Amino acid sequence: MDLYARTRWFDYARARDEMFERTGSVVPWHIIPSDNKKVARLNTITHLLRSIDYEEVEWDPVTLPPVEDSDYQSQPLDSFGDKAVQVPMVYTRKSLATDDEGTKWSCVAKTMVVTPVSSGK
């Protein structure tokens, strides 16, 4: 937040509260505490997954066939110009292993059991 925006903190809060009052009866807003961005993302993903009704599907394990040998040489990704853009690798397994405080994210993930929530339809 820039310095000017900090001087308008209460104006923003007032506008947010008014927005909730005027529109929250149609569809409730979902507030995501985001002091810790990684935790906020995990909580958001969990909330979204829990809001989807789904049924368990029976499935058989899939055995993938081996990749056939070929003399085809794939093109470097940057050779496609604006026709194919690679998503930046913002997160890696290593970067998500722990946060700045040393929290092990595998421990956090194990506590976040995703279960479907009925929408009452």
- φ, ψ of residue 117 to 5 degrees: the values are -115, 130
Q: What is the pTM (predicted TM-score) of this model?
A: 0.43
For 46-94, the pLDDT digits (tens) are 888 888 998 888 989 999 899 888 888 888 877 888 787 666 666 666 6
Residues 77, 82, 87: CA angle, nearest 5 degrees = 60
- Please state, in angstroms and rounded to a whole number, the distance separating the CA atoms of residues 14 and 16: 5
Cα–Cα distances in angstroms (integers) from residue 46 to residues 39, 85, 104, in the given order: 10, 28, 18
For 68-81, the pLDDT digits (tens) are 888 888 888 778 88
- Domain ranges in the chain? 1-31, 34-49+88-121
Q: How confident is the model at residue 121 (pLDDT cuts 50, 70, 90)?
A: very low
